[in-house]
Amino acid sequence: GKCELYHADMKLDNAGDKGLNFGSRTDIQTCTYWGAPIIWDGMFNPEVYDRTHTKDHTSVALTVFAVGRYLDVYLKDFLISAELHFMVGFPVTYYVFTDVPEKIPALKLASGRELKLMPVKRHSRWQDVSMMRMKSIRDAIDSCIQHNHQYVFCMDVDQVFRGRFGTEALGDSVALLHAHYYHRFRRMWTYDRNPKSQAYMADSQGDFYYHAAVFGGSWQSVKQITDTCYRTIMEDKKNRVEALWHDESHLNKYFWKHKPSKVLSPEYCWDTSIGYRSDIHIARLLWQEKQYDRLRGT
């Protein structure tokens, strides 16, 4: 089945895409109503994507924050597993934002891949650490990323790669279906419901519930995403409100107003505590266990 185009002028990632076969999976939705592919295992040919991106000399920035104890607990496993599974064979720069640069683990990276340290100050509330990522990423795109990479992925550090997370995931603007909500009714989705917040969504609004642990796109799109979310977060601060799920609520509002050109299935950020699901053929990235006492305690 071919995907209908909703906006003729939208840069979608399926147009004539030889690497995609929308009909090869019939048990799940493989295309949004606005024409963006939803990437599931079995519907793409990884070699076609890799060939195209090799030809285009694609280079990817992966931003990750390891502030405070998150560095000790998660960063090493995240990076080691990324070397095995994330954009293998392509130039990748890890932009590691941290307040404890002296603790960065020494790792030997594959050729063409490097790690850039990005010092940040530590906000005392974890909610602020999470939300202020939007500003840091925007600034890094301005100062550095835009000159060196076509694409940017932004990820939480509390996860590990377990399968290919490759060039099929690249697109103009990329959002991820939240593992806990993709099969649930929209009334279960945890959008912000406070009309005073910039992240407010009415009951009738929203396409999917997206997970803020993974998003990405061209540097131009990620700059738009992070700049807008940072501005809406600051507007909320001025009005003394905070969205229910912080940056994730603002990101969901953004992707409601500006549809992503590609959507990743929950294979790309799976939580094994959900248990068996017949539609999940491979878990490419896994949530790590949350050790809140080690992370958020004093």
Q: Binding site: which residues?
A: 65-67, 70, 156-158, 178, 190, 248, 271
129 contact, one of Mn ion, ligand UDP, none, CB 5-8 Å limit per kind: ligand UDP
**Residue 267 is a catalytic residue:** no
Q: How far apart are CA 294 and CA 275, in angstroms?
A: 25
Number of helical (H) and strand (E) elements in the chain, helices listed first: 9, 10
Q: Which stretch binds Mn ion (CB under 5 A): 25-33, 153-161, 217-225, 262-270?
A: 153-161
Q: Is 270 in the site for ligand UDP (CB under 6 A)?
A: no
Using CB under 6 A, which of 20, 38, 96, 129 touches ligand UDP? Answer: 129
Q: Is 41 in the site for Mn ion (CB under 5 A)?
A: no
Amino acid identity at 280: I
On whether the CB atoms of residues 216 and 274 are closer than 8 A, the answer is no
Using CB under 6 A, which of 61, 62, 66, 118 touches ligand UDP? Answer: 66
For the bound state, the minimum distance from the C-beta of residue 237 to Mn ion, rounded and expressed in Å, comes to 22
181 contact, one of ligand UDP, Mn ion, none, CB 5-8 Å limit per kind: none
For the bound state, the minimum distance from the C-beta of residue 106 to ligand UDP, rounded and expressed in Å, comes to 20
267 contact, one of ligand UDP, Mn ion, none, CB 5-8 Å limit per kind: none
Using CB under 6 A, which of 31, 38, 60, 67 touches ligand UDP? Answer: 67
124: left (phi over 0), alpha (psi -120 to 50) or beta: alpha
What is the 3-class SS of 64-128, one letter each residue? EECCCHHHHHHHHHHHHHHHHHECCCCCEEEEEEECCHHHCCCCCCCCCEEEEEEECCCCCCHHH
Q: Is 218 in the site for ligand UDP (CB under 6 A)?
A: no
Q: How far apart are CA 215 and CA 225, in angstroms?
A: 9
Using CB under 6 A, which of 52, 84, 126, 186 touches ligand UDP? Answer: 126
Q: Which is nearer to ligand UDP, 20 or 176 (CB)?
A: 176
Residue 187: its H or E element: none
Q: How far apart are CA 213 and CA 211, in angstroms?
A: 5
Using CB under 5 A, which of 17, 50, 158, 267 touches Mn ion? Answer: 158
What's the Cα-to-Cα distance from 281 to each of 43, 170, 277, rounded to whole Å? 12, 20, 8
In the complex, which residues of this chain contact ligand UDP (CB under 6 A)? 65-68, 70, 126, 129-130, 156-158, 213
In the complex, which residues of this chain contact Mn ion (CB under 5 A)? 156, 158
Where in the sequence numbering do the catalytic residues fall? 248
